[in-house]
Amino acid sequence: MNIESDPSETEPELVALAPEERFQFSCGPDVACFNHCCQDLIQALTPYDVLMLRTHLKLSWPEFLERYAALYTGPGSGLPVVSLRFAPSRERLCPFVTPSGCSVYASRPVSCRLYPVARALHRSRQDGRLSEHFALIREAHCKGFDQGPAMTAHQWIASQGAREGLEASDRLMALIALKNRLRPGRLAPEEEKWVVMAFYDLDRLKQEAAAGHLKGTHVSVAPLPDTADDFAWLNWGLAWVRRALFGDAR
Ligand code: SF4
Ligand code: SF4
């Protein structure tokens, strides 16, 4: 297996994929490029990705951050962003890649599930409805095309278990769009801390909510989740951030 970067490799090509159009793709230990895509990436993680990985690894948010992630302020959004810390070696390997593949496969990030499909959401100016648009990412090193069963983008998403994570990403993107529109630039340091907690540190979010410390805004968002389920708390946290930062704005 050769996983060295090829300096002569060309830029990825995006090829539009119509909703009913089928493509063939198969990836596994048999492909010559196995693991090649798990290196030299900037792998941003959504709050949903972080929760999936933390749950899989049984790590608290501070432990996960210390071992695997970097936290910074998004230059565009002014919101906290987390990315995976890749090894500092020349190949910059993902911390979860092993010779036999992805060690967190069942909980891998949504972008890893989606590859080689790229997805964008478009909002109609006429009726405000959202529609999905797809493309295939064609990269010279990736040898997975033209093998395996033919699928549409929707079938690919279902087969990779990516739909739930995409819906969570869409909720986050809606929040970011609102932030860019109403409050461009950085948040106040205290606000940034609250957002980091609501996005990534759900244990603390639960404690603060239970103690009534969330600036009095939580009562007007929605009832606190009557469950320990972290995914319910993640959705609640996003709704709380939205309400705390933007009030009733849509
Ligand atoms: S999380 Fe898994 S699939 Fe994604 S880059 Fe890392 S090793 Fe590869
Ligand atoms: S076929 Fe593509 S997705 Fe699969 S390991 Fe090779 S480069 Fe990665």
Q: Give 139-151 pLDDT, tens digit per residue.
A: 999 999 999 999 9
Q: Are residues 50 and 150 in the same domain?
A: yes
Percent of the chain with pLDDT over 70: 92
Q: Are residues 43 and 112 in the same domain?
A: yes
pLDDT of residue 126: 85
Residue 70 lies in a domain: yes
Residue 233 lies in a domain: yes
Q: Report how far residue 231's alpha carbon sits from residue 237's, in angstroms, rounded to the nearest whole number.
A: 10
Q: Domain ends where: 146, 161, 176?
A: 161
pLDDT of residue 220: 57
| Domain containing residue 39 | 13-161
Atom of ligand 1 nearest to the CA of 98: 7
91 class by beta-carbon count within 10 Å (0-12 exposed, 13-18 middle, 19+ buried): middle
Give, for 156, the enclosing helix (H) or strand (E): helix 153-159
Q: Are residues 157 and 232 in the same domain?
A: no
Residue 62 lies in a domain: yes
Residue 179 lies in a domain: no
pLDDT of residue 1: 33
Residue 127 lies in a domain: yes
pLDDT of residue 212: 81
Residue 155 lies in a domain: yes
Q: Are residues 221 and 157 in the same domain?
A: no
pLDDT of residue 172: 94
Protein residue whose Cα sits closest to atom 1 of ligand 2? 144
Mutate to test the pocket of ligand 1, among 97, 98, 139 (most ligand atoms within 8 A of CB): 97
Ligand closest to Cα of 144 equals 2
- Residue 244 neighbours by CB under 8 Å, 6+ apart: 191, 194, 214, 215, 217
Q: How many domains does the chain have?
A: 2
Q: Which residues of the chain have pLDDT under 50?
A: 1-5
Model-wide pTM > 0.75: yes
Residue 177 lies in a domain: no
